[in-house]
Amino acid sequence: MNRIEMAKHISERVPILALRDESKWKEAERLRRQFVTDYPVTKIGRLSLDEYVIGKGSASRSFCYRLERETDILGRILGARADKFGIYYGKTKSDAKLKYRFARHWGGSASVAFKSVKQSIVDLLHATSIEDMKAIRENKISPMFKGKLLFIYHPAKFSPIYAKPHLEHFLAQLDISGIFETETDMQRALMDYRARWPKLRKHHPCLYMRFLYDLFGYPEYGASSSAGTASSISAPMLSDAVKGVTFIDKMPAISGTMAPPDRATGGSVEYAKQQKQLKRIGDRGEAIVIEIEKQRLINAGRKDLATKIKYIAERDDKSGI
């Protein structure tokens, strides 16, 4: 999506979301701040097993319970397996006995696994505070759990969206290019995009999350959007295009097909939707050209020139690329 179109959507939709859900965003931030206050990094390493694990009911209000259930408004990780937390209290399909269970890659016993998980959480949050993306990527904590921890403790750096299909979906829709080794790279890229827009920066990151779902819907594998529209189909990410992948014919249709109407049944052409799809293909094509030209100059040893390329059509659609 080019800058002119995005500016229009932000101007139209963000004030509505801000006003309609003002109390929701305030509550979201209250919950986030309360969680960080209750669990400063210095305290995490001292948590007891029952203070940490999920599976003992809402009365325990443990670290994992609050992160998954109580702060659901700050991005959903509910539904993924409980072993995403490294260790939990519960049963399995093959074993109905309630007990502490842990992922074996954390250690050979519950106590060892718990100690390893806590240390990894502390290491993760320390790495984030010093901008060590390599350490963040290599941290063994499961992606969904890691993503939410990063947002809770560093909301200006990482988006409140954690599932890989959803992250890929929005990066594709926004034509954000880059090297995305992990979900955390994608979270960071979405927040870097948000930082370009003062009208988005002034509001809570959860409003940004809601704005993206409101504008682009959900990935094709699952639910429909909040507005009740059909689930959207994610376009391939821009980084795939600059590697030479041809996918113009795979661009997602806005609605159904662009084939001519069936005159026998009295069908009509949905001109507005066809025009929207054609414009989207055109915008993606321009973005591809820009990225390829930048890469060509970089490969030729002229990174200085690559940084000077300006995408004029993003700001003035009367001037071409």
99 phi/psi in degrees, rounded to 5: -165, 170
Q: For residues 198 and 255, state if they share a domain.
A: no
Q: Indicate the pTM of the whole model.
A: 0.76
Same domain flag for 44 and 143: yes
Q: In this predicted model, what pLDDT tens digit does every residue of 66-84 receive, in sequence order?
A: 999 999 999 999 987 899 9
Q: Which two tokens stand for residue 233?
A: 């189909």
Of 8, 73, 17, 7, nearest to 207 by C-alpha is 17
Res 301: pLDDT: 82
Task: Note whether residue 30 is domain-resident.
Answer: no
**How, if at all, do strands 99-102 and 87-90 pair?**
antiparallel
- Residue 226 and residue 165 share a domain: yes
Q: What is the mean pLDDT of residues 143-170?
A: 96
Q: Average pLDDT for residues 265-277, to the nearest whole number?
A: 59
Check whether residue 148 and residue 43 sit in a common domain: yes
DSSP codes, 100-162: EEE-GGG-SSHHHHHHHHHHHHHHHHHHHHTT-HHHHHH--S-HHHHHHHHHHH-TTTS-S--
Q: Give domain status of residue 34, yes or no.
A: no
DSSP H/E element including 276:
helix 271-299
**Mean per-residue pLDDT of the chain:** 83
Give the pLDDT confidence of 192-248 residue by residue, as tens digits.
Answer: 999 999 999 999 999 999 999 999 999 875 443 333 333 344 456 666 655 554 444
Q: Within this chain, do residues 70 and 142 fall inside the same structural domain, yes or no?
A: yes
Q: What average pLDDT does this structure show over 248-257?
A: 42
Cβ distance 115 to 123 under 8 Å? no
Q: Tell me how far CA of residue 132 lies from CA of 121, 146, 159, 253, in angstroms.
A: 14, 14, 17, 39
Among 101, 136, 154, the domain boundary falls at 154
pLDDT tens-digit map of 100-114: 999 999 999 999 999
Q: Which residues contact 138 (CB under 8 A, 6 or more apart)?
A: none
Token output for 185? 């790279």
Q: Does one domain contain both 44 and 138? A: yes
Query: Do 94 and 189 lie in a common domain?
Result: no
Indicate the residue among 139, 154, 169 that finishes a domain: 154
pLDDT of residue 267: 55
Is 12 within the bounds of a domain? yes
Assigned domain for 319 exists:
no
Which residues constitute the domain of residue 63? 39-154
The reply to whether 143 and 161 lie within a common domain is no
Q: Which residues of 262-272 are buried (b: 16+ CB within 10 A; e: fewer)?
A: eeeeeeeebee
Higher-confidence residue of 321 and 81: namely 81
Q: What is the mean pLDDT of residues 265-282?
A: 60
Q: Which residue in the block uniquely carries the two structure tokens 């659901």?
A: 72
pLDDT at 179: 86
pLDDT of 119 strictly over 60: yes
Query: How many structural domains does the chain have?
Result: 3
Give yes or no: residues 61 and 134 share one domain: yes
> What is the per-residue pLDDT across 2-44, written as a single tens digit (0 to 9) for each?
888 999 999 999 999 999 999 999 999 999 999 999 999 999 9
Q: Distance from CA of residue 285 to its chain's centroid?
A: 24
Question: For the chain, what percent of residues have pLDDT higher than 90?
Answer: 61
Which of 201, 234, 267 terminates a domain? The answer is 234
Residue 132 placed within a domain: yes
The whole-number pLDDT of residue 163 equals: 95
Model pLDDT, residue 226: 39
- 88 with 20, same domain? no
Residues 79 and 223 in one domain: no
Query: pLDDT band at residue 284, thresholds of 50, 70 and 90?
Result: low
- At residue 254 the predicted structure's pLDDT band, cuts being 50, 70 and 90, is very low
pLDDT band at residue 250, thresholds of 50, 70 and 90? very low
C-alpha closest to that of 86 among 66, 60, 107, 67: 107
